[in-house]
Structure 1
């Protein structure tokens, strides 16, 4: 996705609210991230099913019924309905834990972003010398002059 200097300036000034325009990803990278997310969630679902199956087999002692008779579904439903308040409290606590971890991760990422932004603006060798900086500044300046000529 190519940007002209005007769009680049708008992005850096925070005027764009579109996440795809703010944080552009290559198509291959986007596909990889989606596949990674789907694979990790799928793995967790499969592990949950396997865990329910094994626990049902241990609890009942009837492994063929647990495996082939889908007895594990009944045990999951029974566990959720027998102590509904405890199940709801446990689910809420787990959701709060996941939310806290997500917030902590977001704060960490935001802190890293601020540190990198500060390095970009204060360290002259961040972009490997003055030549890339000069190229970027020249492109922005040319775009500004074109904008003034259009008026």
Structure 2
């Protein structure tokens, strides 16, 4: 099956079984490696992207569900090839240790801030809870989301 997917404002022709996860199309066919394979079960958030304004696990999203929908990846948040506002906040707060979860965390934070540009601590915790960081940098991640909200 061939399907056209809008990723970061660019149309991409993707070939594969209709049930193929978006994550595989992004990484293997489109060449965007920000979203990571973590669990493959929608439990860790390393593969988080935004589809039509909603944060989703790309490991669970079949390509057949994406015709005519807009996908944003962490690469789509770059500003003139440089880190965007949320990226910069994560860098400034040194929120990454191993870095594996960070692209998904950035996307979850972006989604949260699009819906609530001035979240409270509890709202940040609630909004970020579906993404896991095994290195334990959660405090720095929370600070990064606060910094991004202020900028």
TM-score (norm 1): 0.21
Greater fraction of residues in strand: 2
Greater fraction of residues in helix: 1
TM-score (norm 2): 0.21
User: Could you say which structure has the larger radius of gyration?
Assistant: 1
